[in-house]
Amino acid sequence: MLYIFIIFLILSLIGISFKNVKNVDKSALSHERTIMINGFFVGLILFSHFNSYVTTNMKFDNIYYYIFDKIGQLMVTTFLFYSGYGIYESIKSKKKYIDNFFKNRILKLFISFFLALILYMLLNLMIGNSYSIKTILLSLLGWESIGNSNWFIFATFCMYFSTLISFKIFKKDNKSALLLNTIFSFVYIILTMKLRGFDWWYNTILCYNLGMFISCYKDTILSFLENNRHYVLIFLLIIIIFLLSYKNNYGYFVYEIISMSFVLIIFLITLKVKIGNRILFHLGKNTFNIYILQRLSYIFYEYIGLKNYNFYLYFIVSVIATLLLSIIFDKLIHKIYKLLMLV
């Protein structure tokens, strides 16, 4: 698997430019650019989740597994960060954004997730897996799983609802709303720590609030970082915080520092490095669909025996099927949105 992973990394480097590194690239936070960054990380997730279905023993694969073991939950940090950033940017620029937030964000997410779960239910029927009514109902909110990835969906629902409530309460005071939203995130963390226990349910959540914070103070932050000395000092400081935190990772709050410093490193790098990769763009444009549909392919091709025949072929066919399914799913979803007058 290491060789396939290296090919992916090489393809990801296409379109990267190091020109004008002396200047801060203010388009680094553009929608197109952040889509590409998310495209890279959703690509990593395709590898990471595949590892839960197959363990290979090929030469140098120990290096491959070591890499993914060390990356861990950091793969989802940009999803949360850029989601928070994008939402706050929309709140600042669109007067009725919060008024339409339930329809445009929460309802659309639920519909997309619900349709994906129907596919999982059909697959489970086909392969003979059964789940209780309670599990199926709880899976609609992402609290339980019927074969799908679920915790991130549940977290997204919670972040969206907390955003809606916070900015409804403080309609004319975005900074107070941001503070309340952050408090809600800590409430989410405490509750999921007690009710779920698994640290991946909560240990990257504050990246969402961090993205909002960057949007709130964007002009001040970018202006400060335009000074190369400031940029280098901040970059080195965050690198040091990341390394020290990673070395002394002894609990939830330390990992939050790790995740936030990691995503800030990505943010700072993109201010100096231009990305123009169409492969990553198409992956990133379908981040949600790929994330939620990928296990369908892994489960199906495992069921028909492709996993035992050749694990390289199993991975390649599963990824191609996921990408094709995500495109079809996207077209179907948009037709449903139009039918329900959500666009």
Taking 50 as the pLDDT cut, the residues of the chain under it are none
Q: Compute CA 144 distance to the chain's CA centroid, rounded to the nearest angstrom.
A: 19
Say if residues 43 and 6 touch (Cβ distance below 8 Å).
no
Other C-beta atoms closer than 10 Å to the C-beta of 313 total 12
Predicted local confidence at residue 24, as pLDDT: 84
- Output the CA torsion sign for 253, 254, 259, 262: positive
Predicted local confidence at residue 159, as pLDDT: 97
Predicted local confidence at residue 26, as pLDDT: 80
Residue type, 132: S
Q: In angstroms, what CA-CA distances link 19 with 271, 272, 273, 306?
A: 11, 8, 8, 45
> What is d(CA 171, CA 96) in angstroms, rounded to the nearest whole number?
11
Predicted local confidence at residue 72, as pLDDT: 85
Pair of tokens at residue 331: 């077209």
Say if residues 199 and 259 touch (Cβ distance below 8 Å).
no
Strand-pair partners of 17? 274
Question: Tens digits of per-residue pLDDT, 177-215?
Answer: 999 999 999 999 999 999 987 888 999 999 999 999 999
Predicted local confidence at residue 340, as pLDDT: 86
> What is d(CA 48, CA 42) in angstroms, rounded to the nearest whole number?
10
* Vertex 57 angle, CA 51 and 63, to 5°: 70
Q: Which domain holds residue 37?
A: 2-339
pTM for the whole structure: 0.94
Q: Exposed, middle or buried by CB within 10 Å (0-12, 13-18, 19+), for 138? A: middle
Predicted local confidence at residue 20, as pLDDT: 67
Q: Taking the C-alpha atoms of 189, 195, 200 and 203 in order, what is their torsion angle to the nearest 10 degrees?
A: 20
Domain count, the chain: 1
Question: Tens digits of per-residue pLDDT, 29-42?
Answer: 999 999 999 999 99
Say if residues 142 and 113 touch (Cβ distance below 8 Å).
yes
Query: What 8-state DSSP symbol labels residue 74?
Result: G
Pair of tokens at residue 242: 């990341």
Cα radius of gyration rounded to whole Å, the chain = 20
Residue 32: closest CA among 209, 276, 288, 208? 276
